[in-house]
Structure 1
Amino acid sequence: AIAQSPIWGLGKTIALEYPDLWGGLVDNPDIAELLAEIGAQDKEGQVAYRDGQRHVARMVKSTVPVSGKASFSSEASYLITGGLGALGIRFARWMVADRGVRNLVLMGRSAPSDEVREILAEMEKTGARVLVMNADVSDQAQMIRLFQEIDASMPPLKGIIHAAGVLDDGVLAQQNIARFEKVMAPKIAGAWNLHTLTRERDLDFFVCFSSIASLMGSAGQANYAAANAFLDTFAHFRHALGLPALGINWGAWADFGLAAEMATQKRDRLAGFGINIIDIDKGTLRLDALMGQSERVQISVSPMDWSRFLQQFPTVPPLLSELTQLSPVAKIAHIKSQLEQAPEEAREGILTDYIRNGIANVLKINPDQLDVQQPLNTMGLDSLMAIELKNRIRMELDIDIPIATLMEDIGILDFSRKIKTQLGETQLDASPSVTSTARPDSEEEMLA
């Protein structure tokens, strides 16, 4: 059911933050099917049963042409929620300057910034009529008034781009209901308000801006992944009703908006994970093409370096197995060799120095500044830094540490002891393990 869909985004993030506790997502099984899944050995993390048939999730490269064009009319009006934000206003300018739109309704909760005011003035100079509305898309009463204003003062509404959204990041151990509600309201209640208030209108398009976080999970963004998972299902829900619908799972955008508000080193860390940023010009071309096609209801657009991205997983997730062919490459980490050759009494000190240097590296400080007794959750590690450290430990020591552990009230010394226990003498004395790396593949992907 559509109301349950946020659980899938949440579950994908739990799998990243608590891999040692996670089993998988199973939709609509009967008792026998559920028992079969519990005993299954194929590592599928996302399974759905329909009429006794087992279905599994896969992302595949899209065959949708990138040369299509959206259909706009100068005699119609178009609504962009989040239209006063950094991304929404740029798409508004594109619709006016490049696609001949003459009537726009841009709504947001806050007053326009100085930059947005300049773009508004620029659009109005071309003869476009832009109605700016301050409203909360999750508030039904406010949305009723907004549509009344559109009907009274604008040409017929023919299309909606739902781009509203907010972030409130933090690993699950730091989250609460209020933070989930804050992030989910514009995505879930907002989409539903737009749907119920326009389902009788003759719209040409209804585009939902979702995120790649809902497809693969995102450590530190469980609320955001859950909210966007609803939008993904919502697009298919509208399509099943015979209503126009398109869901786009965007990656991180360049130069402006949420991606630009990050510190430079945070953006570098995203690239380190294999998630590159979307150029606004290429992103606009993709939006134009996707709005001009009817083959796909949901599609993802994100420049990915799969060889880097897949390094965060012990094995390639089945979801991504169609996107890359892997070849085994022997890789022996220096730290593991050092531990294997060291006597038992020296291993704790080696691990302590290794962890302190790793934390210092992600914090960009001198290791001598770190007190090995200081709790990790007071050192300034954010979720991206924690993922970077987790990935390094996994690649170099061949063990998985839950993200939540890096946010606990535990110091470097105790953390090192925990790793030493997890490694165990048997593993340290074993022969070097073989890991897998993907063939280099860095390009802007459209994934179905």
Structure 2
Amino acid sequence: MSVVELNNKGDAKCKLSEIPLLPREHRLFHKNCVYIVTGGLTGLGFETVKFIALRGGGHIVILSRRSPTPEMKQEIDSVKKQSGAVIEALQCDVSVSEQVEEVMGIIRQRFPSCPVKGVFHSAVVLRDGIIENLSRTLYEEVMKPKINGALNLHHATKHCNLEYFVCYSSVASFLGNASQSNYAAANSFLDIFCHYRRHLGLAAQSINWGALNIGLLLNKDHIRKILETRGLMLLELNEIVQSLQDCLLLNKPQQLICKFNFKNLGSNIFSQNVSLGLRLASLVEEKLGNSKEPEAIFERPNQSPSIFVRSVLSETLEITPEEVTEGTHLSALGMDSMLAMTLQNLFSAKRAVTIPLIKFLDPNSTVGTLVRVLNQPAKV
């Protein structure tokens, strides 16, 4: 696992292990203080609620657009009993300034003697799609919770003497993602905004999380396999909790928490983004050794394009080759953006052919569409 401090350009500066940690007995949270967690009813948000409660945080307010389900209420009650913390869930769309101001007033009324000491901004909306298919509406849906939410929380808590203003960003903000340009842009804002708050003398940390085995990705073996081919390994819950604690103790403006398979990363993401590979060159060299990796050896086209395409699809989707014909629509095989990027990488690595993502995601594309691309003469 690689835990890296980033500067305001997103470049790797040094490993966290080279930065002295605060003493482990340093108390992260206090019993008589309030800690706000946005998006705290699911995934990383709820794990953060548990993290705070089990480490002494006495009062936790969850902000979410939705009310907790009966199952989630039971989970919250379980954390209350285990930790003794007061946990309240308030309905609030943090992208709407009036709602944030209103809920801050409610918090002051309910906990008049408890100052707000921390904000953990975990709100997120995903609307995937390649950039050609993304409308302004789809950009705004993804950006509002993160960007408007961060700004509204910033203005609503400027008068508070915060110890934490933590924004949960993503590795996508600097690795990029062809089907999540809206998500990458929103997270890039959080990164820069935390540096801006630091320049104002205010608390701020942006944590660029990698792939996590919680929430939407929990035990999704198919997605795990796709991510691993791109060089991204899933972080398990114990790694997430330990990394969050390290980040809070170190208190740097921007830190990356991600587990990489550097060989796969080099042959996929770095091969398609040379400048990114150069920016992280020192980290990659340390993990792989100073000796240069042998150049990629492309699979020779000893199979016909038709057999090759069908075999790649059958292996990736774990189906028999007989289930794939040239007339099979890719959409019928469950094609999505993650699978499209995986297949794009495999075709590039094995045949040195880069097929545009739109070819995989077009609802009219068939297996035969990919075969025809491979049959086209190489451009010199």
Q: Same fold (TM over 0.5)?
A: yes
**Which residues of 2 match residues 223-262 of structure 1 at below 5 A?**
223-254=182-213, 256-260=214-218
1:168 and 2:124 aligned: no
Q: Which residue of 1 aligns with 2:101?
A: 144
CA displacement, residues 269-289 of structure 1 (integer Å, 9 cap, x when unaligned): 212322111122222222122
Unaligned runs of 5+ in 2: 1-7, 286-290
1:217 and 2:176 matched: yes
In 2 relative to 1, CA 190–287 (structure 1 residues): closer, same or farther, beyond 3 Å? same
- 1:161–1:209 Cα contact (<8 Å) kept: yes
Quick one: distance in 2 between partners of 1:329 and 1:298? 33
CA distance in 2 between partners of 1:74 and 1:208 (Å) = 22
Q: Which of 347, 356, 360 is residue 393 of structure 1 equivalent to?
A: 347
1:322 paired residue among 275, 279, 282: 282
Q: How far is 1:174 from its partner? A: 3.4
Structure 1: where are the runs of 5+ without partners? 1-54, 340-349, 427-448
Give, in whole Å, the separation in 1 of the partners of 2:45 and 2:350.
42
Q: Please say which structure displays the higher CA radius of gyration.
A: 1
- 2:4 is matched with none
Residue number among 419, 427, 431 corresponding to 2:374 in the alignment = 419
Query: What amino acid is aligned across from residue 403 of structure 1 in structure 2?
Result: L
1:204 aligns with 2:163: yes
Change (3 A) 1:197 1:422: farther
Match of 2:145 in 1: 186
Q: Distance in 2 between matches of 1:372 and 1:253?
A: 36
Q: Which has the higher contact order (CA 8 A, sep 6+)?
A: 1
Is the 8 Å Cα contact of residues 21 and 249 (structure 2) preserved in structure 1?
no
In structure 1, distance between residues paired with 2:226 and 2:13: 25
- For residues 203 and 150 of structure 2, the distance between their equivalents in structure 1, rounded to whole angstroms, comes to 13
Deviations 1:295-352 (A, max 9, x none): x21010011111112211437522322221261425544433x27xxxxxxxxxx112
Q: How far off its partner does 1:259 sit? A: 1.4
Please report how far the alpha carbon of residue 239 of structure 1 lies from its aligned counterpart in structure 2 after TM superposition.
0.9
The normalised TM-score by structure 1 is: 0.73
Note closer, same or farther for the CA distance 1:64–1:167 as it changes in structure 2 (3 Å cut): farther
TM-score between the two structures when normalised by the length of structure 2: 0.86
Q: 1:59 Cα shift?
A: 2.5
The answer (yes or no) to whether the contact 1:363–1:381 under 8 Å persists in 2 is: no
AA aligned to 1:179 is: L
1:306 aligns with 2:262: yes
The question of whether the paired residues in 1 share the 8 Å contact of 2:359 and 2:369 is answered with no
Q: Would you say how many aligned residue pairs link Structure 1 and Structure 2?
A: 356
One-letter amino acid matched to 1:329: P
Name the SS for the 2:259 alignment partner.
strand
* 2:365 equivalent to 1:405: no
2:300 maps to which residue?
335
C-alpha separation in 2, matches of 1:243 and 1:56: 20
The CA deviation string for residues 110-131 of structure 1, in whole angstroms up to 9 with x for no partner, is 2223443223212333432222
Q: For 1:212 and 1:56, how far apart are their aligned partners in 2?
A: 14
